Amino acid sequence: MGVILGNKEYFKDVKEIKYEGIDSNNPLAYRFYDKDRVVLGKKMSEHFKFAVAYWHSFVNLGNDPFGSGTKVFPWASSPDVMQRSYDKMDAAFEFISKLGLDYFCFHDFDLVEEADSFNESEKRLSKIVDYGKEKINSSNIKVLWGTANLFSNPRYMNGAATNPNFDVVSYAGAQVKNALDATIELGGENYVFWGGREGYMSLINTDMKKELDNLARFLHIAKDYGRSNGFKGWYFIEPKPMEPSKHQYDFDAATVVGFLEHYGLNKDFKLNIEVNHATLASHTFDHELQVAANAGMLGSIDANRGDYQNGWDTDQFPNNIYEIVEALIVINRAGGLQGGGINFDAKTRRNSTDLKDLFYSHIGGIDLFARALLVTEKIFNESDFLKLFSERYASFEKGEGNLFTNNKLSLNDLYNYAKKIDEPKMISGRQEYLENLINRFIF
């Protein structure tokens, strides 16, 4: 498709990023990501469906609790709010096309700044959606998912769908309606709910049961609205245990799966698993993926990484090959992601102030996943990894073990069987052997 420019070129000193192979020392090239290369039966681009996160890359200027923004974005300089929004979209399409990617993800008020009144915000959103539609129709770039920002505005300080005040709940509903409409108009493949303020700070003032019931009711009517307006994609819930709330209701994958099943939302919703949210919940990334996969709900991924020393969502770009290989083993054994892809919910550091840093960070993340996929393919095809895995459970495939698997044994049957056999053999889990095996293929 080539590079997609608006009126102006924002990243002038960067050309299209190409695959140059492992020997390349060009920092603005892929060494592993060869989008059409078939690995484990699918093109790399189909495995991943990489997406750029609008908010981290084109909106946030690097402010933190101790200081204001550091980044100077040339697309953010027009005095006119709509012009700023068109320029930002031009920059986004230029960036995504130069990376050779196909997708982006957005919140409603990433596309355009929220206004002082609901009506004005709605007008702005519909203008930028029209503009986005044109850009999408004249390119290969698509929306992996859209969402509504139900956490930044002060009105949501006590929650959005779980707010104790119905007026705020309805306001959140109005915003989700517009965000869903925008996602549908832009051909979005999925829609995300991340409940940053859906939780509480203290139980002293919180009716948790009522808030959870309201959250489920809210998700049901949002889902029904989308369905009756032609939205065919998946709805995703993105678990996170805390931050900004002390307790967030969508704590982790297991909590969300239980919630969706309890409230009858499991037919339409899947999970969007974020690396740094997994680690904040004291889990590993692959654990969260596996929990989602067990429930048939492994939908999408927000790729990033946390920090071993800091206890918050640092949203750094991924760079840990071992962690991503472990993740791809789970994803590929589960048959891939359902509907989703790999969204880089990651930001360059506050002191990474060159426009080129946006390229380095994405190239690094993309190449890491590609390399991890090649490693996973080797582990599956050139080692006894999968065989060892199934051998570990072989006793459930034959004899009494098989009867147990088929629900044919009672507790008395276990008793009688155990009395017949000798003390069970100690069978090693061979964790170190397997760790070495994975490391052997990380080239």
Report the run of H or E that residue 145 belongs to, with start and end: strand 142-147
Spatial neighbors of 348 by CB under 8 A, at least 6 apart, are: 56, 317, 357, 358, 361
Please indicate whether residue 47 is annotated as part of the active site.
Answer: no
Catalytic site residue from 34, 87, 102, 110: 110
Q: Per rule CB under 5 A, is residue 268 in the interface with Ni ion?
A: no
Residue 288 or 345: the one with the smaller Cβ distance to ligand XLS is: 345
Closest distance to Ni ion from the beta carbon of 236 (Å): 10
Are the C-beta atoms of 40 and 377 separated by less than 8 Å?
yes
Q: Is 110 annotated in the active site?
A: yes
Q: How far apart are CA 268 and CA 288, in angstroms?
A: 19
- Residue in 47, 107, 277, 287 annotated catalytic: 107
x-marked contacts with ligand XLS along 229-248 as a string, rule CB under 6 A: ---------x-x--------
| Min dist. Cβ of residue 357 to Ni ion (A) | 20
Kindly state the number of chain residues that form the binding site for Ni ion, as judged by CB under 5 A. 4
Whether the CB-CB separation of 339 and 143 falls below 8 Å is answered with no
Range 168-227, binding ligand XLS (CB under 6 A): 192, 194
Instruction: Give the separation between CA 389 and CA 392, rounded to whole angstroms.
Output: 5
How near is the Cβ of 19 to ligand XLS at its closest, in Å?
A: 28
Q: 407-436: b or e for each residue (b if 16 or more CB lie within 10 Å)?
A: eebeeeeeeeeeeeeeeeeeeeeeeeebee
State yes or no: residue 250 binds ligand XLS (CB under 6 A).
Answer: no
Among 274, 286, 288, 367, binds Ni ion (CB under 5 A): 274
Structure tokens given for 87: 């320029």
Compute the least distance from the CB of residue 278 to Ni ion, in Å: 10
- Strand residues in 238-291 grouped as ranges (E): 247-248, 269-274
Residue 313 touching ligand XLS (CB under 6 A): yes
Measured from the CB of residue 363, what is the shortest distance to ligand XLS in angstroms? 21
Residue 88 touches which of ligand XLS, Ni ion, none (Cβ within 5-8 Å per kind)? none
d(CA 275, CA 232): 27
Q: For the stretch 350-364, what's the b/e string if a residue is b when 16 or more beta carbons lie within 10 angstroms of its beta carbon?
A: bebeebeebbebbbe
Nearest approach, Cβ of residue 18 and Ni ion (Å): 29
User: Is 300 one of the binding residues for ligand XLS (CB under 6 A)?
Assistant: no
For 29-129, where are the E strands, in sequence order? 29-30, 38-39, 42-43, 50-53, 103-107
Nearest residue to ligand XLS, using CB?
Answer: 194
Select the binding partner of residue 147 from Ni ion, ligand XLS, none (C-beta < 5 to 8 A, by kind).
Answer: ligand XLS
Residues 220, 174: contact at Cβ < 8 Å? Answer: no
CB of 190 within 8 A of CB of 339?
yes
Is 252 one of the binding residues for Ni ion (CB under 5 A)?
Answer: no
Q: CA-to-CA distance for 150 and 156, rounded, in angstroms? A: 7
The site for ligand XLS, by CB under 6 A, has a size of 10
Binding mask 71-110 for ligand XLS (x = CB under 6 A): ------------------------------------x---
Subset of 320-359 contacting ligand XLS (CB under 6 A): 345
Closest CA to 379 of 336, 324, 440: 440
**In the complex, what is the shortest distance from the CB of residue 107 to ligand XLS, in angstroms, rounded to a whole number?**
6
Task: Give whichever of 17 and 51 is closer to Ni ion, judged by the CB atom.
Answer: 51
> 52 and 101 in contact (C-beta within 8 Å)?
yes
Of the residues 97, 121, 147, 316, which one makes contact with ligand XLS according to CB under 6 A: 147
Binding site residues, ligand XLS, CB under 6 A: 107, 147, 192, 194, 238, 240, 274, 302, 313, 345
> Hey, which residues are catalytic here?
107, 110
Which positions touch Ni ion (CB under 5 A)?
274, 302, 313, 345
